[in-house]
Structure 1
């Protein structure tokens, strides 16, 4: 099966270059890596990549950048894998993804298990990631465990391209695109199973540069959840508990916030979005005005 890796990126050119060099160590090389960025200033290409690398440029924002690369790829590749530019896959990641799709014709989306996630803390280094992957490899079972999910975590998700059809990432979820991954892959469940295979592993570094402001993000934590429930693409049983947990965390930690999280900004964004929802105003793109 022909497999492409798409990497949306913004303001992390050195990180992208390191990731491209790292992907050269995959036991199954990608047939092509496609970098999606607003312009060439966001991209740095290392010399000697053992696979083709192409660049696509378009509007800024995670959903838009995913679409910019996805649309021309659908007819060219059977598997499309999305990596965040700060995701570090295990060496057999792409090989295992290809094997999973070949062996399971009813699978629409496959994601790996994130053995450590820097998005939940101050962030991880490459050395942290490599140590975590070595530890996970030592514990790996020969029998993969498969878990069905409402949707996939966008830092690492692979699609069977023949099932995508006219589905696109929702560009109303602007900038960081909070929950655009769940929105898209939840809709893929009508075409086939959306699964996590726990033997496919990687580490999300959770680099803090290139992200939106705390207030914008806090607004998205509420507005995007309500928008997707009303859209019908994400069940309320998933979106509402996630939204409430985020509000509770921002409220509880706003007095003594972590140095790497703008809890007070997020809480202000939460409250503004709650007010807008109460007024019947559900507008994810409002964050462009903040």
Structure 2
């Protein structure tokens, strides 16, 4: 269902899209954080596979904002696309939050301030106080404490641009609605859809995306619902950068360096694997992708057969 454009989009009206799978407790925590925003979201869209992914009904009912729920097949790209389909016509900014992000109370207000200060910019990623994705993860309680401490010392929104990357980090990115009209997340990147955020932002003109301290939070790096198969992720680590390089949404240097770095890390990591990473599975997936590349049949959708 697509909402008609009954109203002129307004940057003070923000839709938050959250694609979630198997993390109802993380989702509940995120909703409660959104309910404490200094600028309330105009619309929150939860894109899930089934009702089992949702928090209990009382959690949904107690929120003071419009919640839209869409259900369908799992996969970060199709779930985010279904969320985009539900964005109302009066929305001026679309934010994508991971379900394990803990945003500051001032996050949405920071987005509006950023776009008001920089009308030439199409998208932005905020500052992460901490990111658990590269380690064992950050507990929700620890993340809440970090954000609460930062909010306690809050002395105003800083809408500065610290860099202008080619693409944005998917856990806390937002776009001017008008800039992404017609853009979609690539559904040829299935399941966890590794690098789909880089592909999405890479479709916009260079120099119109920014990193900024205008909004901030903590990314827990929750492991549930993420790496269910090291084999599949290992394949994606080699295949997806090359796929995006050929597509033109990833710079040549990054598209070549990323697979090589992953291959080295995974094969060295077999010697001393981290408990939260299946290094052996990733390394095997890397090798299968290399063989497929030599055979001319490299395809991101191949992970569905692994």
TM-score by length of 1: 0.94
CA deviations on 1:181-211 (whole Å, 9 max, x unpaired) are 0000111235x61101024211110111112
Decide whether the 8 Å contact of 1:108 with 1:160 is kept in 2: yes
Q: Give the structure 2 partner of residue 36 of structure 1.
A: 47
Q: CA deviation at 1:235?
A: 0.9
The yes-or-no answer on 1:206 pairing with 2:221 is yes
**Which deviates more from structure 2 when the two are superposed, residues 71-80 or residues 172-181?**
71-80
Alignment partner, residue 98 of structure 2: 84
Match of residue 272 from structure 1: 288
Instruction: Tell me which stretches of 4 or more aligned residues in structure 1 moved more than 4 Å.
Output: 134-144
Contact 1:63 1:169 in 2 (8 A): yes
List alignment gaps of at least 5 residues for structure 2.
1-11
Change (3 A) 1:49 1:141: closer
Match of 1:227 among 243, 261, 265: 243
Q: Is the 8 A contact 1:219 1:269 kept in 2?
A: yes
1:106 aligns with 2:117: no
Residue 125 (structure 1) aligned with residue 136 (structure 2): no
Q: Give the aligned partner of residue 194 of structure 1.
A: 209
Q: Is the 8 A contact 2:15 2:43 kept in 1?
A: yes
Scaled by the length of structure 2, the TM-score of the pair is 0.89
Q: 1:59 to 1:76 in 2, by over 3 A?
A: farther
Cα distance in 2 between the residues matched to 1:134 and 1:28: 17
Look up the SS of the partner of 2:126 in the other structure: strand
Could you say what the CA RMSD is over the residues aligned between the two structures, in angstroms? 1.8
Deviation, structure 1 residue 26: 1.0
The answer to whether the 8 Å contact 2:114/2:159 transfers is no
Query: Partners in 2 of 1:277 and 1:140 — Cα distance?
Result: 52
SS of the aligned residue for 1:198 comes to strand
The match for 1:6 is: 17
1:50 aligns with 2:64: yes
